[in-house]
Structure 1
Amino acid sequence: MSEMEFTGLTLTLAIIVFLLSLLRWNLNLYVSGLAAMFALGTIYDFKWGGVAIVLLSCLIMEIMKEQLHKLIALVCIALIICTIVIYHFQQKEDTDTKTITTQQSDYVLTSTLEENIHNHFTTYVKALVTAINSGDFSQVSPYIDTESAFYQKQKKLVSNLYSRDISETFYEAKVQSIKELQTNLYEIKTYEKIGVTKNNEEKVKEFHYTYRVIKKDNELYMQHWAE
């Protein structure tokens, strides 16, 4: 049984006790039922509703002493109690809805970041292949953090492979996992499938690397590489 169901059941029982106490004119039951409702009202954050029940019940009791019809008084009490209970649960539902909406928004933001990292990595690998085949490091340099040692390392790689007449063919690249190391710094584990051609003979190779990706000024850059 959920908390809401338990609360609703308890309130219902308290209301029944309260109404029965009025019908039988039993002071002890009346006080017990009223105290139970007031306590629940206080616990579940509508204490002013509990106070209202007490004050209005006392007023109605005074009216009943004047020999007015008891049924009218009972209906009034029931309506007051039901209104307060319904209002409380409606407020709770609204709060829950806002919470869910916020969580969904956070998820969308996270998904967008992950998608951007996936796209950036794929673009980087394709650009690196182009740079190696053309000997032009500027094809891939915009995707690497210029302040990192990785920048110089990849610059030498492009120059070395081009000078040895080694070319590459892009087949596949994907990010298998993303881990946030700190704010704007991420570690990604990747898979790459690249065709490496040397002396007119191509060998398709598969690589599993770990990179670091840094976010600067809302842009992503490759920063580190390890096997």
Structure 2
Amino acid sequence: MLEVEQAPESPGIYAWYVKFQASAQDWETKPVGGQDVSIEGFLGLLREYASYYEPLPIMLSGSAPYGGRWDGVLELDHGVNRHEVHSGGEGVDRRERERRERDREALDNTISSQTGRRLLAQFLGGATPVFSSPLYIGVAENLNERLQRHRASYNKAMEWLRTNPSDADRLRGDARTFGQRAASRGIAMENLEAWVIDLKALESGVSVESLRESAQSAEWLLHRLFAPILGRQ
């Protein structure tokens, strides 16, 4: 997002990704009182990264006998927080609980060593965009202008949240633009990457209208295949 001026001024499809960022200060051992405090700090980084991909809570309601109502909220349990995994959860069979415990134990073992934390940070840092899901997919007649508008929206939302931090949850539910949605989740600008397909570079001698129509068809399909978490749903 820091370099969107480099995007071509041509029609195309684009996708935003968030990159996992960690440095030696995050994975190097920090002994305090006989314990390595880097373990919990690194786990905090993983929790934060996982939070970028959490869908908004789903509100459920229904009728009950004698005029009653069923109401509730569903929230994703992605399994990164320790208490959520070890509790097992109601309705989960024994084999599934055991599998979750093994996966969690492997993660605990990994982040318990400096080498494990460094390798995990390198793996996650290199996952974008090949292995990671896009946060947002869009189509534009001018990629350069559109991406700069995204950055302007992000900056405006971040400026508002700096003076109104309590509005983050409200903005997360009410945001109308990608910039607002990214800001409401606390994603740092330097962690956001846009990857583009320049349609003019792919196909010469085709009208802008034809390119735009093909791009819209591709965008429609990509939304339904990949369901970007910060897209218009």
TM-score range, shorter chain: under 0.3
TM-score, length basis structure 1: 0.19
Q: Which has the higher contact order (CA 8 A, sep 6+)?
A: 2
**Higher Cα radius of gyration:** 1
